[in-house]
Amino acid sequence: MKSGLFTLLFSIFFTIYPSFSQGDSDYRLENPMTVQYLTKNIRKKSPRLILTPELERNLRKKLKSDTLVMSFYGALRADAEKILTMRLPERIIPDKKRLLGVSREMVRRFSILGIIWRMEKDPVILDRIDKELQAVSNFTDWNPSHYLDVGEMSLAVAIALDWAGNVLPPATVEMAEKALIEKGILPSYQKDYGWIDDDGNWNQVCHGGLVAASLVIAEKDPELAAKTINRALEKMNFALRKYGPDGVYMEGPGYWNYGTSYSVITSSMLLSAFGTDFGITDFPGFMKSFIYRMLMVAPSGELYNYGDNGTNLIDGRGKNNQVMARFNQGEFVNNATWYAMKTGDSDFFDPGYFAAHPDDLRERGRFGVLALFWLSQYKPKIYVPLPVNWKGDGGNPVILFRNGDSDHDMFYMGAKGGRANVNHGNMDAGSFIFELDGVRWSVDPGSQGYAHLELQGFDLWNRDQDSERYTLVTKGSHGHSTLVVNDIPHNVEGYAPVTGFNDGGNGENPEAVIDMTEIFYDNVESARRKFVKESPRSLLIEDIIIQNERTRSVTWQMMTIAEVIPVKGGAILKQEGKELHLEILSPENMNVSLISLDPPPLKQDKQIENLKRIEIRVPAWVLGSSGKIVVRLKGD
C-alpha cells in the first residue's frame, strides 16, 4: 500500500486513540467511588457483570439471524454438555503452590453454564450451577498465598451469582456471597500483598476479580464493595501505565493475553454496572497495545517470544502463515474481538474462530462466552493495515522491521531494549530475533516451565543481580543474541532505551538504535547497537563501542538452532533447506566460534534441540578506542 494512504488510515486510528508521550505518567483513572456513589449509580438489577438485559436481548436476536453467533453458541452449548459429565471441583493444589487451574476452570464452567441457563432456562443446567457453587464455596479457602487463584475464583463465583442468583436456592446464594466476602475480598486486607500496587498482570487479575466480587455483594455490604472498587481504581493505574506510551506490554505477548484480558473484563464490568469504565480504555497506550500484540507474530507463525513467553503454533497451524497465526491463541482472539467491537477494525476480527469447526485446534478458553458477547455487538467499519516498521517505547521497548503481510521473503526482525529486572524479564537488552524465508535464524530461548524449578527450591522469581534466575540459558545474557562485555552478566538495573528510529518513510531501509551503555556497568564509556534493514533480504547490525580503561573484551552473540558452518570472516547457516550468510564486516580478519548448548550447562536448563551460541569475541585492543562490530545477515 502506498505510504500516503497508509498514513491517512493510521491518522484515522490515532484520531480515535491519540498518541501519548511517556510524560503522561500522571494519567489516572477517574475514581469517584464512595458508598454514596455506588448506591446511587450501580445498575439496580442483575445481570450487571458484562451481560446486561440490553445485551441479552440483542444476543437472543442474533441467535436467530447471525450464523457465526449461532455456530459459536452451539459450540458453547456442547461445552456445557461436557461440563455436566465432569467431577465437581475439588481443592487440589498439584504443585503445592497454585489452585489456579481450578479457579480458571470455574471461570469457564460458570460463564458457559450461566449463559446457557439464561438463553434456555434448562433446569439441569441450573442444578449444575447450584452444585458447583456449593462445592467451591465450601473450599477451606481459595488459596490466598497465591492470590491469582483468589482473583480468578472471585470472578467465577461472581458471574454465577450475577447471571443465575435470582433463581438459585437462597441457601446457595447466601453461602456464595459469604465466600466472596470471606474467601475473596477480606483476605486482601489482611496482608500487605505486593500485587495491590504492582505493575504486572497480578495487579490486573486480582483487582479485576475483586471488582467482580464487589459488584455482586454491593447490596449485602456496600461499604466493603465501595472500598474495594475504590482501591482497584486507585491501584490499577500502576499496571495500566506500563502500556504507555505505545502499547508495548512489559511482560511480553503471552502475558499480554492474561493481563489485558482482565483489564478488558474490568472495563466491561464497570461499564455494564455504572455506565463508565472510569478511563481504562482511554489509558495511554492501552488500545495501541492490540496493534503491538498483532505485530508480535512473525511470518513463521511464531511469537516474538522474549521474556517468559512461549510458542504460538498449534500442531503446525499457521506455520509460515502470519495472518492465520495471529489468531492462533483463543485467549487473544477473545480480546481482539473486543477490540474489533470497540473500533470496528476488521483486521482484528477472525470469523473462522466463531465458525467453530470441529477440527479447529484452538481452545475457546475460559473467556469464550465473553467473546460471544463481543461478537454479537461487532460491526465492521474500518480496516487499518498494520505498520511495516514500528517502534514501541516504554519500560521494555521493542522495534520491528518487516516487509508486510504479503511478503514472499518473510523478513522479520524484532529487537528490544529495556532492563532485566522487570516482571518476567531476562538479561536480553539489545537482543534480536531474525526470520527470513520462513526460518527463524536468530532465536530467543523463550519460556520454560515454572513448577519443576519451584519444587526444587530454585530461586526463579528473585530478580536481584546474583539471583539463580539469571544462571539459566533462558534468562541470562549468555542465552540471548546480544552483546556481553568482559564476560560479565548484564546489569539487571541498567536500562537500554531506543534512542533512534527511522522507519524509512516509505518503509524502505529503516534504522533503529538501542543505547546499551547502562547494562555494562562502567566497563565501557558507551555502547550503541544499530539495526539497519539494508534490503528485503539483508539485515545489518552495527555495534559502536567507546572503550574505557576497564574494557577488556566485547562478545557479539547470536543464538540459533541452525546448522552453522564457519567460514573465513563469518559463517553459513543452514536450516529447512535454506541458507543465511553471516558476514563480519568489522573488525577485519575476525572469525566466529560456536558454543553448543545442547545439552545445556545446568540440569535446570531448558533442553532446546540443536541450540548453539555463535560468538565473535573481540579483544579490546582489536576493537580500538572507538571501534565497531559490524555484522551482516543476508539471504541468498
472-522: per-residue pLDDT in tens?
Answer: 999 999 999 999 999 999 999 999 999 999 998 766 799 999 999 999 999
Distance between CA atoms of residues 467 and 461, nearest Å: 8
pLDDT at 26: 81
The number of distinct structural domains making up the chain is: 1
pLDDT at 450: 87
Distance between CA atoms of residues 520 and 491, nearest Å: 6
Distance between CA atoms of residues 539 and 436, nearest Å: 10
Q: Block means of pLDDT (10 residues each) for the chain, length 636 residues?
A: 41 41 70 98 96 98 98 98 98 94 98 98 98 98 98 98 96 98 98 96 98 98 98 98 96 95 98 98 97 97 95 93 95 97 98 95 96 98 94 96 88 97 96 97 95 90 95 97 98 98 84 98 97 96 96 98 98 98 96 98 96 97 88 96
Distance between CA atoms of residues 498 and 391, nearest Å: 8
Q: Which domain holds residue 485?
A: 390-635
Let me know if residue 445 belongs to a domain. yes
Let me know if residue 409 belongs to a domain. yes
The set of residues, in sequence order, having a beta carbon less than 8 Å from that of 82 and lying 6+ positions away, is none
What is the average pLDDT value for the chain, to the nearest integer? 94
pLDDT at 505: 77
Let me know if residue 629 belongs to a domain. yes
Let me know if residue 49 belongs to a domain. no
406-459: per-residue pLDDT in tens?
Answer: 888 999 999 999 999 999 999 999 999 999 999 999 999 999 998 889 888 999
Let me know if residue 325 belongs to a domain. no
The set of residues, in sequence order, having a beta carbon less than 8 Å from that of 259 and lying 6+ positions away, is 200, 201, 203, 204, 205, 239, 249, 251
Let me know if residue 115 belongs to a domain. no
Let me know if residue 551 belongs to a domain. yes
| CA nearest to 143, candidates 171, 106, 117 | 106
Q: What is the CATH number of the domain that holds 532?
A: 2.70.98.70
The set of residues, in sequence order, having a beta carbon less than 8 Å from that of 359 and lying 6+ positions away, is none
CB contact at 8 A, 561 and 579:
no
Residue owning grid cell 556481553:
484
pTM of the model: 0.94
Let me know if residue 508 belongs to a domain. yes
The set of residues, in sequence order, having a beta carbon less than 8 Å from that of 14 and lying 6+ positions away, is none
